[in-house]
A and B are shown apart, each in its own frame.
Chain A
Amino acid sequence: MTGASLVTASCQQIALSIACGETSALQLTREVLARIDSLDSRYNSFTCVTHERALAEAQAIDNMRSKGAALPPLAGVPYAVKNLFDIADVVTLAGSKINASHPPALEDALLIKRMGEAGAVLVGALNMDEYAYGFTTENSHYGATRNPHDVTRSAGGSSGGCGAAVAAGLVPLALGSDTNGSVRVPSSMCGVFGIKPTYGNLSLEGMYPFVHSLDHAGIFARTSHDLITSYALLAGQALSNPAPSMGELKIAIAADYFEQGEPQANVAVQAVATALNVKDKVILPEVARARSAAYLITASEGANMHHAHLRDHLADFDPHTRPRLIAGAMIPADWVIQAQRFRSWFYQSILAMFNEVDIILAPATPCSAQLLGQENMVINGKTMPTRPNIGMFTQPISFIGLPVVTVPIQNPNGMPIGVQIIAAPHKEHLALAVASYIEALGVAHAPVVTN
């Protein structure tokens, strides 16, 4: 595989082609950078393209190969990161105007270091909601990221730049973060694969925080294989059993609360369930309350993170973020402590459910991508504000740190939507195996989209 097709290939295909000498890392990187420079004005997914660094990293890979050295597993694979990751010599914006006045980062975030050790080539930083507080990546400072499937629609958020860049074939892989759904929502809306692992399984070192007790790092890709490979490298551990037999797994559909989405969301879950021959349903207890508790903790901890700037530089905040943070700053401590106590109860209750099932299927979002600027949406006949409610199916899951792989279900006549494959803590390999199986059947896939 060479030429233009390789630019939009998977990580696996790119690494193989470079290892075989079919193309050089430098040549591929030049083509990737040219593609970003040419196409990203449509999507506004990048806030910074690291041309010089990318070319230098690619040259280093070619030097290794010319010396006959063994190449690392992602040698020459281009990738990008949400702009809350520290990149040496680049200012870590975290989607904000305020942080633009900060000095450049002194060193890379730990996950970028691990990607570098694996031979991957960093090509830039990606757009996001300010301070990761949002689900639409309509950033007032750096512009909205547009969905490659339909540029009048949101890419989701807060890691919207990640979802759009991967869907548009600008990079095969991106690193993002997920506090309440910020990997899973843009994965769903941009029609790509995403993983939000167990809380704590991927290091947050060198990533600008949003809500310490809920923040996760995550990965976007166009194939489940690329998720499996990159997750294992970033977690620093081989997956213990990446391919269990589907017949060995007890899988159930999340019912009740998770059936409140638009018909498309339920159809997508049913498509996955049918492919897996799953008919059983489970009802997770007190899910709505779990979402509420996640909402309170997020609002309060997020506001606390920015309290000093809210007092001194209020006008510099994004108008979408500003009132949410102020409201969050005035939440009584009693409510937040109760939310954390409920979190313990909910965690134990859900852990007990995993004695009966291995995998739970649920929609990632209640609907597909909304129009940019759409303030309200209608879900199941109810009109509700768009921004706070897109994460209604993701928030209760990340609230207790469960690992989730989002698989994309394409819609030939419309927008894609994602399905969450949820596993017990530290059972990422089971969710990844189900995602891989679903992809092999052709039920989930993530083609490159350029509109």
Chain B
Amino acid sequence: MSKLVSKPPSAGITALLSSDQFDALLSFHGFDLNEVDKTAVQTHMQIISTHAINVMSFPLTESCEPAPIYRP
């Protein structure tokens, strides 16, 4: 079975974006730029990026399916 190795996302995702680009990203998702604490959001995006690197760099086999959401 071959393995698929995903290219990890870039660390410091928010560092890749200019202020205008970050505003555009927030607007694209429907958020009011006047109400968003951009620094706090960037802090959490940075934490998420670190976790994403961990997950995306794991070599999963093609047959590995997403975990089912199961109920009793």
A296-B48, A329-B29, A330-B25 known; A340+B54 contact, CB < 8 A: no
Query: Are B56 and A347 within 8 A (Cβ)?
Result: no
- Counting contact residues on chain A (CB < 8 A from B), the size range is 35 or more
Query: Are B48 and A311 within 8 A (Cβ)?
Result: no
Contacts of A64 in B (CB 8 A): none
Question: Which of B52, B64, B70 has a CB less than 8 Å from the CB of A345?
Answer: B64
- Counting contact residues on chain B (CB < 8 A from A), the size range is 20 to 34
Convert B35-51 into 0s and 1s, putting 1 for each residue whose CB lies closer than 8 angstroms to a CB of A: 11100110111011011
Bound together, the chains give a CA A331 to CA B60 distance in angstroms of 20
A324 at the interface (CB under 8 A from B): yes
Contacts of A342 in B (CB 8 A): 55, 58, 60, 64
Max chain B CB contacts within 10 Å: which of A203, A292, A295? A292
Contacts of A299 in B (CB 8 A): 44, 48
B11 at the interface (CB under 8 A from A): no
Convert A203-231 into 0s and 1s, putting 1 for each residue whose CB lies closer than 8 angstroms to a CB of B: 10000000011000000000000000000
- Interface contacts (Cβ under 8 Å), in number, total 110
Bound together, the chains give a CA A307 to CA B29 distance in angstroms of 9
Nearest chain B CB to A387 CB, angstrom units: 10
Question: Which of A323, A334, A338 has a CB less than 8 Å from the CB of B41?
Answer: A323
Contacts of B69 in A (CB 8 A): 212-213
A271 at the interface (CB under 8 A from B): no
Query: Are B36 and A314 within 8 A (Cβ)?
Result: yes
A367 at the interface (CB under 8 A from B): no
Query: Are B9 and A344 within 8 A (Cβ)?
Result: no
Query: Are A295 and B45 within 8 A (Cβ)?
Result: no
Interface residues in A165-217 (C-beta closer than 8 Å to B): 199-201, 203, 212-213
A286 at the interface (CB under 8 A from B): yes
A157 at the interface (CB under 8 A from B): no
Bound together, the chains give a CA A293 to CA B47 distance in angstroms of 12
Query: Are A213 and B40 within 8 A (Cβ)?
Result: no
Nearest chain B CB to A290 CB, angstrom units: 9
Contacts of B55 in A (CB 8 A): 289, 292-293, 296, 335, 338-339, 342
Question: Which of A289, A319, A327 has a CB less than 8 Å from the CB of B54?
Answer: A289
Max chain B CB contacts within 10 Å: which of A212, A319, A345, A347? A345
Closest to B61 in A: A345
A203-B72, A314-B35 known; A388+B47 contact, CB < 8 A: yes
A310-B31, A329-B29, A330-B25 known; A343+B67 contact, CB < 8 A: yes
Contacts of B71 in A (CB 8 A): 200
A337 at the interface (CB under 8 A from B): yes
Nearest chain B CB to A414 CB, angstrom units: 29
Nearest chain B CB to A6 CB, angstrom units: 36
Contacts of B56 in A (CB 8 A): 334-335, 338
Contacts of A291 in B (CB 8 A): 51
Contacts of B20 in A (CB 8 A): none
Nearest chain A CB to B35 CB, angstrom units: 5
Contacts of A288 in B (CB 8 A): 54
Contacts of B30 in A (CB 8 A): 307, 311
A351 at the interface (CB under 8 A from B): no
Nearest chain B CB to A136 CB, angstrom units: 16
Query: Are A323 and B54 within 8 A (Cβ)?
Result: no
Interface residues in A315-338 (C-beta closer than 8 Å to B): 315, 319, 322-324, 326-332, 334-335, 337-338
A338-B6, A338-B55 known; A327+B44 contact, CB < 8 A: yes
Contacts of B66 in A (CB 8 A): 337, 340-341, 343-344
Contacts of B58 in A (CB 8 A): 286, 289, 338, 342, 345
State the A residues within 8 Å of B (CB): 199-201, 203, 212-213, 286, 288-289, 291-293, 295-296, 299, 307, 310-311, 314-315, 319, 322-324, 326-332, 334-335, 337-345, 347, 385, 388
Task: Jot down 23 A-B pairs with beta carbons below 8 A, ordered by A.
Answer: A213-B69, A288-B54, A299-B48, A307-B30, A310-B31, A314-B36, A315-B35, A319-B37, A322-B40, A323-B40, A326-B36, A327-B41, A327-B45, A329-B29, A331-B48, A331-B52, A335-B52, A335-B56, A341-B66, A343-B66, A345-B60, A345-B64, A388-B47
